[in-house]
Chains A and B, each alone.
Chain A
Amino acid sequence: MGRRGESFMRYSIFSLARNAISGHHRWPRQWPDATPREAYSIIIIGGGGHGLATAYYLASRHRISNIAVLEKGWIGSGSAGRNTTIIRSNYGLHENEAFYEFSMKLWEGLEQDLNYNVMVSQRGILNLYHSDGQRDAYVRRGNTMVMHGAGAELLDREQTRRIAPFLNFENARFPIMGGLLHRRGGTARHDAVVWGYARAAAALGVNIIQNCTVTGFQRDSQGAVVGVETTRGPIRSEKVGMCVAGHTSQVGSMVGLKLPIESHVIQAFVTEGLKPVIPNVITFGAGHFYISQSDKGGLVFGGDLDGYKSYAQRGNMPVVEDVCEGGMALMPMIGRARILRSWGGIIDMSMDGSPIIDRTPIDGLYLNGAWNYGGFKATPASGYCFAYLLANDTPHETAAALRFDRFREGRLIDEKGVGPQPNLH
């Protein structure tokens, strides 16, 4: 792969040794902060994981490098910096599982592809079940996963106890009967994913432009999008791709797009750093609670949406209480840990709980959004498929179902089967 960019240094054991000798004072910047040019072939709105991954795959797989990624703050400052860093491919519906398994395969080769340590840790995800009916549902989901090559193992109570002896197996109301183990799932370092894609994209000539808010779109006489208006001046472009999940409706409203999306707030929490205590990712099947331990030792956990529409990036107390109750019910030892901080992130909840990667009804404008709970784990496949769409004007085969027309034609991808009520997905 050809590398441009003046300051690019390939990371290796030799670069580490060389810089160790010079006291680590001579590491070059990972990517240059670009100033906007007058025009580009493609503009990506949103410098999060998805936007930067899209730019990287356009440059590396489709040889299109005349690209600008426009970010209103600093890269990775939106949902890319607010998630709980879990990667998994354990969905029950074909359209989702095919896509997320594609993403998992990209995660597995991402560090070599980007020449960057994104700290992919396939420590396994254990979804607990607490009733016969829930076990049957997990068997169905596990079979879907096996058919897509993701792998799944159904554990009984004693096998579960060997992996996680600290769980409360004496809970009379929600007894732990076993779990569905997804060994290839795990975590990755969210900031490193953003930085790794930014560095690799910039090395191929992509302009990463921070502190540049898109305020409107340029349209030609036929109504096609031919550029954007920004706080740093107008920029022309043949194609514009939106990667602004959480705020898709707001950017879409600048061109009058009607979207099947509601924006909701979801909270996450981290405790003080502890010695290794939780070996993998564990989800409570009888409440809204999931947990993993970061490499710094903090217990990272979260639960359900607050349930009402919000752009506030902060939640309310009832969900804090609900999540902590779930944690106490599942693993009472967590009550000894002190919460260091909590935060809220905004996610696009779509009407069927599944994402959208598609052309919009407006020529020149492409949309990547509605990521619901799946944004972080989707990052590589989202970028890969959106780059394919931008380059070829046809959907990538893995994302061919993730289109707008599924709502009108009744081909919903509704994992939970709850219908068009976004806060229930």
Chain B
Amino acid sequence: MRIVCPYCGDRDTEEFIFRGEALGRHPGLNSDEYAMFEHVYHRTNLSGKTSEHWYHVQGCRNWILVERDTLTHTIYSARLAKDGES
């Protein structure tokens, strides 16, 4: 698999660390216990097109928001996570 990093260009996924589903921000320290539990432990774990966070550790060290199909390994898009979710 190859990811087109918005900063570095077309790179092998070996340069990246897979973090997991793009969960968004955690619910905050003042949130109730259940919301924090859900954020830390529960995953949708879809088969098909998903949004994920990859970290370009051997490149620009940006967090990348990648749209990828977990059934076919097709990568649809990659953009900087700091630019926000769509």
Q: Measuring CB to CB, which residues of chain A are less than 8 angstroms from any residue of chain B?
A: 247, 249-250, 253, 258-263, 307-312, 316, 318, 351, 407-408, 420-423
Contacts and interface: CB of A to CB of B under 8 A. Distances in A.
A198 B75 CA distance: 40
11 contacts: A249-B44, A259-B43, A262-B21, A262-B43, A307-B18, A309-B70, A311-B47, A318-B13, A408-B41, A420-B41, A421-B20
B52 A260 contact: no
B45 A259 contact: yes
Contacts of A408: 34, 37, 41
Interface size class of B (residues with CB under 8 A): 20 to 34
A351 B41 contact: yes
B72 interface: yes
B71 A312 contact: yes
Contacts, number: 69
Chain B interface, DSSP helix/strand/loop, else mixed: mixed
A249 B43 contact: yes
Contacts of A310: 70, 73
A317 B41 CA distance: 30
B43 A308 contact: no
Interface in B33-47: 34, 37-38, 40-47
Chain A interface, DSSP helix/strand/loop, else mixed: mixed
Given A250-B47, A262-B20, A318-B14, 9 more contacts: A253-B44, A309-B18, A309-B52, A311-B47, A311-B70, A312-B72, A312-B73, A351-B40, A351-B41
A407 B73 contact: no
Most chain A CB within a 10 A radius of its CB, from B41, B71, B73? B41
Contacts of B41: 260, 351, 407-408, 420
Interface in B2-44: 12-14, 18, 20-21, 34, 37-38, 40-44
A420 B46 CA distance: 18
B83 to A, nearest CB: 22
A407 to B, nearest CB: 5
B54 to A, nearest CB: 8
A263 B37 contact: no
Contacts of A259: 42-43, 45
Contacts of A407: 37, 41
Contact of A309 (B34, B38, B50, B72): B50
A318 B17 CA distance: 13
A262 B67 CA distance: 17
Contacts of A262: 20-21, 43, 45
Contacts of B18: 307-309, 423
B66 to A, nearest CB: 9
A258 B70 contact: no
A188 B61 CA distance: 45
Contact of B70 (A260, A312, A421, A423): A312
Nearest to B40: A420
Most chain A CB within a 10 A radius of its CB, from B12, B37, B68, B70? B70
A325 to B, nearest CB: 13
A39 B64 CA distance: 50
A311 B71 contact: yes
Contacts of B43: 249, 259-262
Contacts of A318: 12-14
Nearest to B66: A308
